[in-house]
Amino acid sequence: MANLKEIRNRISSVSSTMQITSAMKMVSAAKLKKAQDAITAMRPYAEKLTELLQNVSSTLDSDAGGEFTSQREVNKVLIVAITSNRGLCGAFNTNVVKQVKVVAEAYAGKQVDVFAIGKKGGDVLRKTINVLGYNNTVYDDLTFDSVASIADDLAQKFTSGEYDKIEIVYNQFKNAATQIVQSEQFLPLAPIKSDVPVSAGDYIFEPSKEEIVLTLIPKALKTQLYKSIRDSFAAEHGARMTAMHKATDNATELRNQLKLTYNKARQAAITNEILEIVGGAEALKG
């Protein structure tokens, strides 16, 4: 059994750790509320934009999307891995890394590159996969404009023929305790079909339907990427809050066990001292 000084030092160390994890939990909880409100408010807009694009394009030819719907033989694939810049959030980043590897294995024999949004994912993936580039600053000022420039760069890589397919892997926010890893095709756009036929006389289009679709597609791509990063941002704080909550609970349990051990060791030491005193007294009497 460790001596009393060692146990006291461990109790002090665990208590300090518990204070840190508790503080991190409260900080993440505060940030989560803002991030959750942002993604919750954005989802209806993103869904309505997709619905509008489907309605307008439902009566067009399959090639109405122009270069954004170009279906080419897939030889070069770019995977956009969205992770966080910081750790201490459980399996949040690990799950994305695992899914990126699964997607990469599906294109065995092809050229597969990764564009990492978030430091943690890029640091791990570059050991096994060619990481084309990083963007670790987007979370410093997470706005639509800052994400739109990334979406434009990705779209340019596809339309120029540098890559034949682009996929996004990220954590979708469900609640503070649940994050769902998603893999979405970013480009080319899948053929848009509607189960409900739309006749040509339902709407009056100005300008033409083709021009409207070609205007909506870049906006829809930017919105899709922005929603994915917003989802990941909210999921990160939820994962960190949950991880720090569990760490605080574990630290509390460990501290209580150490206190019990300390009290037992202290009682044993006192008992030994009493026995030595009694033994000495009996020896003097004899």
Active-site annotation holds for 37: no
- Given the structure tokens 């070069």, which residue do they identify? 76
Q: How far apart are CA 128 and CA 105, in angstroms?
A: 12
Q: Which residue has the tokens 């596809």?
A: 158
Which candidate in 89, 104, 129, 216 is catalytic?
89
In order, the DSSP letters of 149-204 are HHHHHHHHHHHTTS-SEEEEEEEEEEETTEEEEEEEEEESPPPP--SS---TTS--
> 3-class DSSP state for residue 225?
helix
Containing H/E element for 45?
A: helix 4-57
Q: Which one-letter DSSP state was computed for residue 129?
A: S
Count the Cβ atoms, other than its own, within 10 Å of residue 33.
12
Q: Which long-range contacts (CB under 8 A, 24 or more apart) does 252-256 make?
A: 252/18, 254/14, 255/11, 255/14, 255/15, 255/18
Question: Burial of 112 by CB count in 10 Å (0-12 exposed, 13-18 middle, 19+ buried)?
Answer: buried
Residue 3: phi and psi, rounded to 5, are -75, 170
Q: Hey, which residues does 117 pair with through a beta bridge?
A: 82, 135
Positions marked catalytic? 89
